[in-house]
Structure 1
Amino acid sequence: MSIQHKITCKACFAYGEKDVRVEQRELEYSDSDILVKVDCGGICGSDIHYYQHGRAGMSVLKHPMVVGHEFVGVIEKAPADSGFHAGQRVAVNPSQPCNHCAFCLEGKQNLCKTMRFMGSAQFNPHINGGFSEYVVATKTQCFAYSKVSPKVMAFAEPTAVAIHAVNVAGTLVGKKVLVIGAGPIGCLIMAAARSSGAAEIVASDVSARCLELAAEMGANAIFNPMEKGSADRYQVNSGYFDVVFEASGSPAAIQSTVAFTRPSGTIVQVGMGAASVEYPVMPMLVKEITWVGSFRFINEFATAVSWLEDGRINPLPLLSAEYAPESIEEALIAAADKTRSSKVQITF
């Protein structure tokens, strides 16, 4: 039987709406666990929702929870047979699927109904996240890296989301691609699409700042759909694009995807902003468009680590600011302000 150990460390807890606190926590781990000292982590939209509303979608805070699921660190302790050692830098995959349900056995672990996703209040008790001085992980969650800075590798999780979306779309070699919504995920989709052979990448957003970032992250052209006539050339002749990624979640944006997509093209829905929308079903049907959802990632986390490590994707244009954990509330407020922030990180 494994011996249990305890360590006391500070962590960022969400208590409820507009209530986040930095407190000491007692973390338990066994000899079979990997103990990771956290370097830094990125704030995601779900972290912002837990702060703003006390919930993220249907996941409602019922007790204090450590937030954050985009993080990296250094191994403090690891079992001798784990393949890891103290001092090794690792990106931590926040996904913990059951690996025995039908979806897991089909290789679709992202659809696991009992997924224990770090920093999520889906289940009670909640699954604590990575905004903590130390976290406990399994060897299957840890991916070693050495060539880039922690603030680069902290983008591994959202980069995995982007690569999964690209994989869902199918081959992009030689394809004309539109990405609607140039936030962090949208911009990382552009970078992943370029790395996957897309011939032309166009970005759409209502924010001038986001469009500037899109140009840095791989877009060949940009447009603001609120500017009259800016989208016209992409909607003539039954649609211009082979593949459209909708990464904003805006109802108006979702409705617009069909007009941009050529007959027999593909729309990948990534944005989660709207629970339901009015959708142009008849034009979609007549054009035989494939409309498919993309949720989290599967084995793309390993690919994301590799692509960040070898410089295939450079996410640093998206990094807007870094904060100490004691400033978690200020950081969450800054991350929610899309007029000045793309990705905000907490540095331990």
Structure 2
Amino acid sequence: MQKKTVNAVVVSAAHDVRCESREIEWQEHQVLVRVERGGICGSDIHYYQHGRAGMSVLKAPMVLGHEFVGIVDQAPAQSGLQPGQRVAINPSQPCQQCAFCLEGKQNLCRSMRFMGSAQFYPHVNGGFAEYVAVNPVQCVPFAATSDPKIIAFAEPLAVCIHAVRQAGDLTGKRVLVTGAGPIGCLVIAAALASGATEVMATDISERCRDLAQQMGASLTADPRDGDVTQGWTENGGAFDVCFEASGASAAVASAVSFTRPGGIIVQLGMGAPEVNYPVGPLLVKEVQLRGSFRFTGEFTTAVRWLESGKINPLPLLSAEIAMTEAVSALELAADKERAAKVQLVF
């Protein structure tokens, strides 16, 4: 067992986030990674604002962050990793023993130890620290010529690639994305990269609609604009596939009316705990409703897409802020009229 004292971004309770010194430990079979940068996710913001993210409630201080990249500092010889090598870190740590893991559905593992999550106690510390210890399998090397600020989008892009795969073959399909935050915008790009003919998007924020167009949406609309959305309900619905990425009650319900008979809705936005859902139209139109949660092998796919330039996420990068200013970074990331994705630099 080896130990090292590092600075980390730690959340202890709602509105109690500090950059403080902590001791980390790692074993011979683990990899020590010097973190370069990490993206702030909605769950990080929820822990900061509310001391919880959904049903995961803070019971002790925890290091935030699960979207990060770094440089290998130390690695076991049998890992195939070399000091100085740049890696993206997959924050998923499934048990690899349960029925879901053995079926290749590690994202559904009931014992998942996800970095930067308070789901279990003791909590699983995240990657917003100068150094982190991870397992070799979590490290996905990428080319030294790739920009780390681009590869740091691997985790949210993996979520979106998984959602796109949940919808099946998108070749030639007409797609709607409701909610054009970072996830919705990356879904737009992933859908187009997967063969969709046309992708449209809705969001109540003009700023988000502008970003959606930069990420490839052919048309964007305010969902409250009936002049536009009414036309999407004619003849049973206009879209082959709808990705609901907002989680807002109205958006979740409206997806049924926008989706054509026999179409597919992929729900990946997590917002309202309860929704008055139009079950009748869903059944009559035989619309398939599919959930989408995190990812499995799509993390490596995301790294490769970003590495090759298949998707350019940089329109979504609003700011790069030093880890010592983590509170200011979280405040900015929470303001959707000012920022999409904010990255901490270590």
The structural deviation recorded for 1:233 is 1.8
Q: Does 1:14 align with 2:35?
A: no
Q: Which one of 7, 26, 31 corresponds to residue 29 of structure 1? A: 26
Q: Does 1:104 align with 2:115?
A: no
SS in 2 for 1:84: coil
Q: Does 1:273 align with 2:271?
A: yes
SS in 2 for 1:248: coil
Give the Cα–Cα distance (whole angstroms) in 2 for the partners of residues 189 and 12 of structure 1. 29
Counterpart residue number, 1:43: 40
Q: TM-score, normalised by structure 1?
A: 0.98
Runs of 4+ deviating beyond 6 Å: none
Counterpart residue number, 1:57: 54
The structural deviation recorded for 1:313 is 0.5
SS in 1 for 2:237: coil
**What pairs with 1:1-348 in structure 2 (closer than 5 Å)?**
4-146=1-143, 147-348=145-346
- Equivalent residue letter for 1:44: C
Give the Cα–Cα distance (whole angstroms) in 2 for the partners of residues 209 and 181 of structure 1. 12
Q: Deviations over 1:185-236 (max 9, x none)?
A: 0000000000000011001111111011001111111111122312122111
Q: Deviations over 1:49-94 (max 9, x none)?
A: 0000000001000000000000000000011110100000000000
- Equivalent residue letter for 1:185: I
SS in 2 for 1:237: helix
- Equivalent residue letter for 2:268: V
Give the Cα–Cα distance (whole angstroms) in 2 for the partners of residues 280 and 31 of structure 1. 54
Give the Cα–Cα distance (whole angstroms) in 2 for the partners of residues 226 and 135 of structure 1. 45
Give the Cα–Cα distance (whole angstroms) in 2 for the partners of residues 228 and 282 of structure 1. 22
**Structure 1 unaligned spans of 5+:** none
- Equivalent residue letter for 1:31: E
Give the Cα–Cα distance (whole angstroms) in 1 for the partners of residues 89 and 216 of structure 2. 26
SS in 2 for 1:229: helix
Give the Cα–Cα distance (whole angstroms) in 2 for the partners of residues 122 and 205 of structure 1. 30
The structural deviation recorded for 1:139 is 1.1
Q: TM-score, normalised by structure 2?
A: 0.99
SS in 1 for 2:118: coil
Q: Deviations over 1:132-191 (max 9, x none)?
A: 000011111000001321110100000000000000010100000000000000000000
Give the Cα–Cα distance (whole angstroms) in 1 for the partners of residues 226 and 247 of structure 2. 22
Between the aligned residues of both structures, percent identity stands at: 61
**Structure 2 unaligned spans of 5+:** none
SS in 2 for 1:236: helix
